[in-house]
Structure 1
């Protein structure tokens, strides 16, 4: 059959060769996808995020407060604009609760802790602007991913808005950086795990040292329409091929003669195949039942035991017939030694089950086979054991 197809293909190729030579001097326009990214319009690739979590204060005296008394809530509302799949900006505002210990400074209450330090509690509203970069798109190229690690750095303007004791009325500066872990739910929705570190000016805490926090926030992001990225299609013009030289023409003629000889030989083989008597195909006897197993397993399932119980009843009703149990394993997974043990174990499990249901061992024979159980099916169908009447 393969030789027949080869003959047909060769005939078609060399029959079309004159037309190919005549068209060789013409230009052929092709297109190929560009590896560049088109920057979308300004109205595209916008999203909004809402997040909330906790922060942990790392101020000058905060280590003198218990761990749990340094944890406070933090919330954020942000708008993001992507300029490319790699880089974009995030503008938003965050609410920080700040808790810890102090000897002086903002939010110091009159409540003294056990170690002569005072309880400290105040809150900040911080408008901030972040520059963000998608590490996966930067190093592995752009595509839609389930998970995207996004690194960012930014600046904020923390303003103290409430707290215990006196609150300094001032506008401050802050720096921050973090890792935004974004998990894609659909084209429009994603969830985030934002891990952040903030450093505020000395005047924020009023302790003569920079206030610092670690934050962990969980949030949800909605992407407005105009979400994807497109690449341009760049036209590619094939080079112009000139006329063949005499030497090249002679070589083509020689190739045609050789091809004609091959075609004649294949036509003769085809004629011989037509006159050859058809082979008789002996149909193999189908098994009584086939038990399928999970990959690398020889354990019977509950449904299989129900089937085997019914098969045992039929075998006991035919006491004069012997049955062969054959174990199989797919050759696509596992080593040859492991598959040999697996075939034997699968046959033994079926044998043991039938004997336990009252079948006489004299009616049963076990063997294994490394052949394919289903020549036209998936190799998954080879993970089985069959029960067939003995020949």
Structure 2
């Protein structure tokens, strides 16, 4: 925490001012825990405190306060907790931790402090303890009606600056009281722990000085320099003619034709025909403008017209799919099918075919 505090203060070196003694008012609320023979949460009770003090130097201060509200105790057999009220007055010596090392700064954001003190506590309303049988007759009983006990205490706190006179406060402290505090014998002392939050008000603090402006620097006016003599204008450079860029022209080239033959009544591409497909793929890839038209046929001497139309469609589509599987995009392939209505060749086996025509282009 101290490393964080020092790093924040390093950015505020301009907020230093002469320290001025001032009054302090703290209002706090939170919880207390009376150490005893029960689970931690079962011995939690409310607590409040109000303190008034004076900060004599950047490091040392003194405060007097009233605190209290409720304490708790517990017995083991039978397992039972009981509560009572108390009021405590104390005087604490306070030490500002960061001011020891970094001096006083009016705008410091985090202000941790240590404190130690003494006081007197009074107990009252101990009726619940008086009703417990083991505290009425047990040898460990220190039952009381009204209690006065000295107190020793110490703790740590943190003031977080909200504005010049108001700080958000967090504090934890430990209080050492008489063994009678929780109405039963135990160790030499009874302990009560406090966790508090609240506000700290500071009255009469000095305002931070604004950073003083730097003194004006006197700079003598230099003697005027002689006016430069203009140099003759350079001769214009000869114009360089940019070569004319001739865009290449796309012109048609000789088409590539491949016939993919099929067995009678079949549309499956045979292995012996796949070399022709590779030739078609190569021709298409020679120019990004090349496209292919695949037209399927069936011979008229076999099958019905409807079956032949379906067969020619399957042949053309299977060839197109093979081209796409080889990396040719679909938008560069056109599929047609004629059935047996058109036979491009005389022999029937030649008409069981898908004809691939690659439309080719070249650049000139």
TM-score, structure 2 as length reference: 0.47
TM-score where L is the length of structure 1 = 0.44
